[in-house]
Structure 1
Amino acid sequence: MCQLLGMNSVKPADLRFSLTGFAARGGLTDHHADGFGIGFFEDKACRLFVDAQPAATSPVAEMLKHYAIKSRNVVSHIRKATQGDPMRLENCHPFTRELWGRHWLFAHNGDLIDYQPESAGNYQPVGTTDSERAFCALMEELKQISPREPCSPDIVFETLCSMRERTAEFGVFNYLLSNGQSLFAHCSTRLWYLVREWPFSNASLV
């Protein structure tokens, strides 16, 4: 399955150090070689970079290792395809959609077997992954709750919890979701996270 990397920061920060090690796992130190993507939020919009090449050899990933894009919320993904054609740009995460006048980013790790959610038509997948279908279903559900005005963070969280239970019946549903204000992370297997506070101590890539 795929691997996820997210960052939520009080102050805008760049992710180059962590991205260097993460990108290497996309075909060099690990076997997640079916595509790469990363999104950096700047207020309500995001800069999104995706590449169907392995992250370890992607010119896009290499450029980003030297480009200090500072952001408070970042979502990144390296892909090991389980559903959807491998090494296809439209199947690379993160996926993005607009809701309530903001970009939303979603990246998924897992495999949802026979997952075919119903859709009212506002959000349709471009690619052929179960991941993008789940993202469209989530956006649809939030839009149905409040078509025009943003929901409170509590209502968004309750909606995510409800959908998590229903979606996880089909398989592993680990994901990162952000709208540039918050970063939501769910893990039904193992979740690793790091909290750092200034002044930072030295760290080494392993």
Structure 2
Amino acid sequence: MCQLLGMNANTPTDVMFSFTGLATRADEHKDGFGIGFFEDKGVRLFVDHHSARQSPVAELVKTYPIRSKQVIAHIRKATQGVVALENTHPFQRELWGRYWVFAHNGDLKNFEPRLHGAFKPVGCTDSERAFCWLMQELAKSHASVPDVAELTHTLAELMPQLHRHGTFNMLLSNGQALWAHGSTKLHWLVRQHPFRRAALRDENLQVDFASVTTPQDRVAVIATEPLTSDEDWQAFAPGELRVFVDGAPR
């Protein structure tokens, strides 16, 4: 299975500590990687079908000064679709004049929805088909731009239709909020004042968050498996959907 990483914060925040922990797992998940992060309404998206351990794009990302309120990253272990750039997560689409970014971990069986012209997959993964279907159904459900609460309600109605086809762990953001759905393995935590030191599980690296934050900062981190060994990660229940706004679950 692939590995997901999401971050939602109330102020632009450095994600490289968590991304380093994710990239360390690329020895097993070597079929591509990607990271998308919002800057106001714009999105910077870096993807490569090579492993995050070997990709020059990954090296660029590690030196890029990423500070964002919304981040989605993914390392791929292919189950459907060949190893190719067009099959590499995260995927991006436009809806209601905003960019949407999506990444998926899982395997959907016999999922072949009817898709109209506005949302069609470029690659051949179940993940991109699911994303296009979600965008299509959201567009059909709302005549105008809905607020976060309305979007969450609609997504909660759509998730079971995907979940019944197999494993559907996903991250989705439009720059205003981060939605996360757990089917099998997904974990989350919130970092807030008083901040303390944390150490990665898979890499000899630790950060004293108290030295790089203010008391007003708040950051939610979502990952397939806990990234750190000394923080209180909480597991999603099977079929659970959560939305994170300004670094906290709603």
What amino acid is the match of 2:41?
A: K
Deviation at 1:187, TM superposition (A): 0.3
> Distance between the aligned counterparts of 2:86 and 2:184, measured in 1?
26
Matches within 5 A, 1:13-92: 13-27=13-27, 31-86=28-83, 88-92=84-88
> Distance between the aligned counterparts of 2:21 and 2:160, measured in 1?
32
> Distance between the aligned counterparts of 1:20 and 1:190, measured in 2?
20
What amino acid is the match of 1:128?
A: C
> Distance between the aligned counterparts of 1:167 and 1:205, measured in 2?
32
Q: Does 1:186 align with 2:173?
A: no
Residues 53-80 of structure 1, C-alpha deviations (whole Å, 9 max, x = no match) = 0011111112211222110000000000
Q: Is the 8 A contact 2:141 2:154 kept in 1?
A: no
Residues 32-68 of structure 1, C-alpha deviations (whole Å, 9 max, x = no match) = 1000000010111210000010011111112211222
2:102 equivalent among 95, 100, 106: 106
Deviation at 1:199, TM superposition (A): 4.4
Determine helix, strand or coil for the equivalent of 2:21: helix
> Identity across aligned pairs (percent)?
56
Determine helix, strand or coil for the equivalent of 1:65: helix
> Distance between the aligned counterparts of 1:19 and 1:154, measured in 2?
29
Determine helix, strand or coil for the equivalent of 1:26: helix
TM-score, normalised via structure 1 length = 0.94
2:132 equivalent among 123, 130, 136: 136
Q: Does 1:195 align with 2:190?
A: yes
Q: Is the 8 A contact 2:46 2:61 kept in 1?
A: no
> Distance between the aligned counterparts of 1:164 and 1:94, measured in 2?
18
Q: Is the 8 A contact 2:33 2:74 kept in 1?
A: yes
TM-score, normalised via structure 2 length = 0.78
Aligned residues: 201
What amino acid is the match of 2:10?
A: V
> Distance between the aligned counterparts of 2:181 and 2:171, measured in 1?
7
Determine helix, strand or coil for the equivalent of 2:187: coil
> Distance between the aligned counterparts of 2:47 and 2:32, measured in 1?
8
Residues 89-128 of structure 1, C-alpha deviations (whole Å, 9 max, x = no match) = 0000000000111100000000001110111221000000
Instruction: Name whichever structure is richer in strand by fraction.
Output: 2
Q: Which runs of 5+ in 2 are unaligned?
A: 202-250
